[in-house]
Amino acid sequence: MCGRMESLWNFCLSLCLRIPMWIYNHCILPLICVLPFFQKYKTFNYSYHNRLVKEVVHANDILDIAMAHGFDVQEHLVRTQDGYLLTVHRVLGKKSEVYRSQAKKPVVYFHHGLLTNSELFLLGQTSDKCLPFLLVERGYDVWLGNNRGNKYSRKHINLSSRSAKFWDFSLDEYAIFDIPNTISYILNLTGLEKLTYIGFSQGSSQAFAAFSINPQLRDKIQLFVGLSPAMIPRSLSHPVAKFLVTCPPELLYFIFGTRAILPSVVFWQRLFGPINYMKIVDWSLVYLFNWKSEHISSAQKQVGYTHMFSPSSVKSVAHWFQIIHNKRFQMFQEDISKIYSSVPSLHRKLHRCAPFPVQVIENMPMMLLYGDQDILIDMETTKQNLVRNLSDLTLVELPGYEHMDTLWAENVVEEVFNPILKKIDQIHAEKPYQNGLEVTASA
């Protein structure tokens, strides 16, 4: 009886979202589709800030993006223990230079955030505003990872990406398989014992989760750098977001399906064109998260927004909603019983979801850079979970910065990249490299 009542309740709640979505799709959307043709600034009359911005905006993939900046990218394939095939990108030197693969260089690995991919770190409006390019030119061996299910990792040795089973993953699988398997592949290939890990947003969360459950993995990290590191995000204030956070995963699946979320983002980019799409993304970020983006220039938005989003599983989004609702960095919580799940007090008595025990992370040099206006992270909780066991923890609070500013702000080189470069040089205890050769600091 309780199960039927719960199903009826979920159905009624979903109607509150599905009816407006139907009206939007059948009435408002056709009008929106026509609007771009009558906009004052049409796509074919749109002027770009410079040639590089235009080339990156129209790039199809990370190879084109790197080529626009004058760099090469090498693609590698990592097979996870549960059968997913992840594409990992290795950023090589400038195309005009000979890449010296035989020279052993310190490895720096980047991992992207939720609903993005490896392109994220190469979307600066200039080459100097792309941290991977700066590291390559200093002599580091730079790698960019990808999560299962995104643009570059939609293959499995047995499952089709059209099946719901392919998309049955969350932070748990990222931490158990994707991160450790990718790091092991890179270290085995390069013959090194350790690397530096740089994660943005969820890329930091996946690292926290992976390090907490895998002691052997912690021994492979020479330095961890977290940009806008998410662990337990603050409660979202928007009414729709608050509703989705508190609703059960089954309702999310009923509304969005059980496979990919944001599967049609490329269609909308092409439909609206660069200027209209940029305005829509800007408006959406203000509406949902109250992001003002005052530190991000128009040229940077042109470059960044065009390639910003990439599909992920609905389950991974549902996992974040659970973490926000429970105010606890934990594994995905499956319903063990329809009867008990309908009574929260009984459910908590019967079952406590396993945490990601980040308190056990110790003896790892760590640097966290975050904005004081970032509503998606709770740094006080993050610090409480980490500070006890870390003797080398550097915290850099950036006044006025929001979530994306640690990648794209106008002064990101001075405020974010330079401190990171200094820390990486220091932690590797090596003299700076350039073009694969050791040089003096004055060079």
Show which residues are catalytic: 201, 374, 403
- Enumerate the β-bridge partners of residue 262: none
Under 8 Å between Cβ of 11 and 5 = no
Label residue 61 exposed, middle or buried (CB < 10 Å: 0-12, 13-18, 19+): middle
Beta bridge partners of 438: 433
How many whole angstroms from its chain centre is CA 354?
A: 23
Token pair, residue 357, equals 């025990």
Give residue 223's region: left, alpha or beta (phi > 0; psi -120 to 50).
beta
Contact status, residue 135 vs residue 424, Cβ threshold 8 Å: yes
Query: 173 near 82, Cβ under 8 Å?
Result: yes
Residue 232: both structure tokens together: 């337990």
Asked whether 244 and 321 are in contact (CB, 8 A), the reply is yes
Residue 320 corresponds to which tokens in the numbers above? 């974040």
The CA distance from 411 to 84, in Å, is 38
Q: 3-state DSSP call for residue 15?
A: helix
> What residues does 156 pair with on adjacent strands?
84
99 to 61, 71, 193: CA distances (angstroms): 22, 11, 22
Query: Alpha-carbon distance 124 to 166, whole Å?
Result: 32
Is residue 12 within a helix (H) or strand (E), and if so which, with residue range? Answer: helix 2-23
Asked if 141 and 74 count as a contact pair (C-beta separation under 8 A), the reply is no
